Each structure stands twice: as C-alpha cells, then as structure tokens.
Structure 1
Amino acid sequence: MKVIVLGGNGTMGARVVRLLEIAGHEVVAASRSTGIDAYTGAGLADSFAGADAVVDCLNIVSMKAGACVDFYETTARNVIRAAEDARVAHLVCVSILNARNSEINRRMGYYRGKAAQEARYQNARIPTTIVRTTQWFELAETLINQMRIGPLAVMPRMMSQPVAADAVARLIVSVVELGVEAPAGVELAGPQPRDLAKLARKVAHNNAVVHNGGPHPRVIAIPVPGIKVLNGGLLPGVGVAKDPTLFEEWLANGRTA
C-alpha cells in the first residue's frame, strides 16, 4: 500500500510514518521541506499519484481562530481536491475530540480550526475517516515551551484526559490498513482525567532529573476564563475507547508507549 503522510516530520506524522514503514508499506513523508505544501497545494498532485491513502497530520501552532480556520480549511480543501483528481481510495484526518462542540470552539481558536477541517473532510467524495483523540501527553512539554517566561512557565489549569501519541499513531495505522472498510470516525482517550498544569510540573521535574539537576522552569498554574465549560468539553464522552498507558509510565519509559 502506498500512503502519503502530510506533516510527516511532525509529532504525530513521524510516528505514523515509522509504523507504516515497519509494517512494510510504501510511505511518503510529505512536508514543506520535501517540496510538498498543502497550504499552497504545491507538490500535492505529483505526490498523490498512485497513492492508496492520504493521512492528514498537519498542524499549526496558533491559538488564533482566524489563523487556524484559514489554515485547516485551506489545507483540507487542497488535499481533498488533489486526492479526488488522483483517485486516492481513502483519506484519514487526525483531529481532536469535541472539536465541533460549539461551547468549546467559540472559546478556543484551535478547536474552531479543527472543526472547520472536519467539516471539509466530511463533505469529501472520497471515503474518509476522522481520528479524534484527546490531547497527547506530549502537550505538557509543548505548553512549557510555549508558556515559558524566563524561569517561569505559566500554565492553564484545566482537566483533560490525555493519551500517549504512540497509542494514537497505532490507531491511525490500523485505520489506514482497514482502508475503505474503516468507519467514518474513531475516537481514543487516555486512561484518566488529569490536570494539565500538574502534568507539566511532572515533565519539568523529570527534565531536571534527566539533566542532573539542571535548571528547569517553575510551573505556575492559573485559572482560565470559562474553565468550567472547558473542563467538561476537554474530557471524552461515554463510550470513547481508552488507551491504558498512564502518564507516569510514559514519562518513566522515555516518553514512549
């Protein structure tokens, strides 16, 4: 099977590429560094030729609704058009759980962008599977880097039910291998609700231990406006599958699961 992985060098894309290659598939890790730009459409037609599946692992680092909606709508539109022209059999889009919850996405620009992306893919003429998951464990360290101000990292205090990115990658690969027999949507969450700020503290402490007591930011937790609504929206609903890997296990095992 020939599979194109958009965002193939990113946190999720790189994992999906590795697992697909291990399984013996022909994989193209597509990114701007390889001349393939889903936002402009450059390189999509050539890379999609002969492909059986396309996996959209694209990401934008922004919290602004306008930027996120523009990026995800534009890339999805270009990907769908190129896939239809190339007669790709199956599309897989990686999204976030509850992105289309209006109470959440009107407060969080990133979620609004993912909602726009999902809407585009759900109107594609090609069989499409949307893989929705809760935040990944890796988000804790990402937030530390994004929120760091000198020796401090100011973190939002909110409940989520994060999951290991490796577990998500395995789910994506299973969906790809099912092909057109895959369901229109699959969901995955972590094993238990956790406070993201507390997880960030654990990551910061672990980094200091790994680097023999080297400097690490002090994580300061702050409340978020509308947090009660956000907390409910960031947690999975009843019936969502759960990966059993605990955050502490993931951290102790070198951040793999």
Structure 2
Amino acid sequence: MKIVVIGGSGLIGSQLVNKLRQLGHDVNAASPATGVDTITGEGLADALTGADVVVDVANSPSFEDKAVMEFFETAGHNLLAAEKVAGIGHHIALSVVGTDRLQESGYFRAKQVQENLIKASGVPYTIVHSTQFFEFLSGIANAATQGEEVHLSPAHIQPIASADVAEEVAVVTLAAPLNGTVEIAGPDRISLSDLVQQYLTKNNDPRKVVADENARYYGAILNDQLLVPGKDARIGKIDFEYWYENQPKKS
C-alpha cells in the first residue's frame, strides 16, 4: 500500500512512518522539509500521485487563534482538494478528544473546522480523537506558569504516550474507512494538576502546581468530562511511570 503521511517528520508522524515501513508499506513522509506544503499547495499533487491512503498528523506551528484557524482551514482545503483529484481512498486525521466540547478555545474551534471539512469532502475518512500526550506535559506546565506557580485545572484527563498514538493510528491506517470517529486514550485517568505536579517533581523542578478550577486550558474552562474519552475508546498500554522512565535522560 502507498501511504502519504502529512507531518511525517513530527512527533507522531516519524513514529508512524517507521511502523508502516516496517510492515512493508511504501510511505512518503511529507512535510515542507521534503517539498510538500499543505499551506501553499506546493508538491501536493506529486506526493499524492498513486497513493492509496493519506494520514494527516500535522499541527499548526502557532496556537494563536487567528493563525491556528488559518492553518487548519487552508491546509484542510488544499489537502482534501488534492486528494479528490488523486482519487485517495482513505483520509485519516489525528484530532483531539473533546474537540466539539471545547469550542471556547481558538485551537479547538480550528480543529472542529478541520473535521467539518473532512466530513464534507466526499473523501472516505476516519478521524482519530486522541487524549493529551505525555510529551505535552512540559509545554502545558510552561503555558500555565505564573512566577513560581503553575495554575492548572484539577479536571480529569486520560493522557496517552505518543508511541501508543502512533500504534493506534497505524491500525486505523491499514483498516477500511469508518466515515466516523474513533477515540484513543491512555490507561489511567488522573487530575491534570496532579499529573503535572508529578512530572515537575520527577524533574526536580521547583515550581508548584496550584489546582485552580478557573484556570483555562488553551482558552477553555475544563470539567471532568471534557478531556476524557467515552466508553468505547481504544486504550493504550503505556502508563505515566513507564513512559517517564523510558524518556531519554538529560545529561
């Protein structure tokens, strides 16, 4: 099978490309670095020629409201239009659990626009809704830091390791289109504020997490239902302790 992975050099994309190649598939890791740009459209037609499946795991370089909306809207239009011309049989997109429930946030509004474009495109599709990655914990902490305190919601999350995300997206990539959404999540549910405190403590980071119900997560106020999956979610194997112990250690 010939598969094009948009964002193929990123955190999820690079792992997904490796998995699919190990399974014997012809995989094009497409990104601006390889001459494929979904914003300008450069290289798209050539990249999709003869492809069976496209997997879009690219993310916006900016989370500012206007920039992120322009990214997902423009990239979505360009990619899906090129796929229709190329006769792509399955479009897979990586999105976020709770996207439709987090519309206070500019980032999630943009992700919803991306999903709506996919559903209206006529290209057979599967959308993968993932919970937050463990690899995002440092960025989440930094974005919420005020002096020596990190103000975060105590709402529940069910975070997942990027390796499990890549594994599940690979399974979806090799299956038939669902024309629907699947959810993936890690094995454990925990308070966001508690998890980030555990992460900082393990890193000997002196910052203290303040559990603040009014703290916003990328612009949205959270509750215990917004960032957790439903009962039919596919559950990864890697928990926080295993993930942390297997991270490259800083010298």
TM over 0.5: yes
Counterpart of 1:108 (choices 105, 108, 122) is 105
Residue matched to 2:225: 232
Residue-by-residue CA offset, 1:14-70 (whole Å, 9 max, x unaligned): 111111111111111111111111111111111111111110001124443332222
Residue-by-residue CA offset, 1:151-189 (whole Å, 9 max, x unaligned): x46342242111111111111111111144x45321112
1:80-229 to structure 2, matched below 5 A, reads 80-101=80-101, 104-105=102-103, 107-147=104-144, 152=148, 154-157=150-153, 158-180=155-177, 182=178, 184-208=180-204, 216=205, 218-221=207-210, 223=212, 225=214, 229=222
Cα 1:69–1:238 shift into 2, 3 Å: same
Which structure 2 residue ranges, 5 or more long, are not aligned? none
Deviates more, 1:233-242 or 1:20-29: 233-242
What is the distance in 2 between the residues matched to 1:57 and 1:49? 19
Q: Are 1:52 and 1:90, in contact at CA under 8 Å, matched by a contact in 2? A: yes
What is the distance in 1 between the residues matched to 2:81 and 2:17? 23
Asked if 1:7 is matched to 2:34, the reply is no
Shift of 1:5: 0.7
Cα 1:60–1:231 shift into 2, 3 Å: farther
What is the distance in 2 between the residues matched to 1:217 and 1:226? 20
The alignment yields a C-alpha RMSD, in angstroms, of: 2.3
Compute the TM-score of the two structures, normalised by the length of structure 1.
0.85
Q: Are 1:200 and 1:219, in contact at CA under 8 Å, matched by a contact in 2? A: no
What is the distance in 2 between the residues matched to 1:52 and 1:217? 50
Q: Are 1:140 and 1:200, in contact at CA under 8 Å, matched by a contact in 2? A: yes
Residue matched to 2:59: 59
Residue matched to 1:252: 245
Identity %: 33
Which structure 1 residue ranges, 5 or more long, are not aligned? 209-215
What is the distance in 2 between the residues matched to 1:33 and 1:129? 26
What is the distance in 2 between the residues matched to 1:174 and 1:221? 39
What is the distance in 2 between the residues matched to 1:35 and 1:249? 37
Amino acid in structure 1 at the alignment position of 2:181: G
What is the distance in 1 between the residues matched to 2:85 and 2:173? 20
Across the two proteins, how many residue pairs are aligned to each other? Answer: 243
What is the distance in 2 between the residues matched to 1:30 and 1:146? 29
Shift of 1:72: 0.9
Residue matched to 2:25: 25
Q: Are 1:140 and 1:196, in contact at CA under 8 Å, matched by a contact in 2? A: no
Residue matched to 2:77: 77
Cα 1:222–1:67 shift into 2, 3 Å: farther
Residue matched to 1:48: 48
What is the distance in 2 between the residues matched to 1:153 and 1:57? 32
Q: Are 1:148 and 1:217, in contact at CA under 8 Å, matched by a contact in 2? A: no
Compute the TM-score of the two structures, normalised by the length of structure 2.
0.86
Q: Are 2:151 and 2:215, in contact at CA under 8 Å, matched by a contact in 1? A: no
Residue-by-residue CA offset, 1:133-158 (whole Å, 9 max, x unaligned): 111111112324545678x4634224
Q: Are 1:53 and 1:179, in contact at CA under 8 Å, matched by a contact in 2? A: no
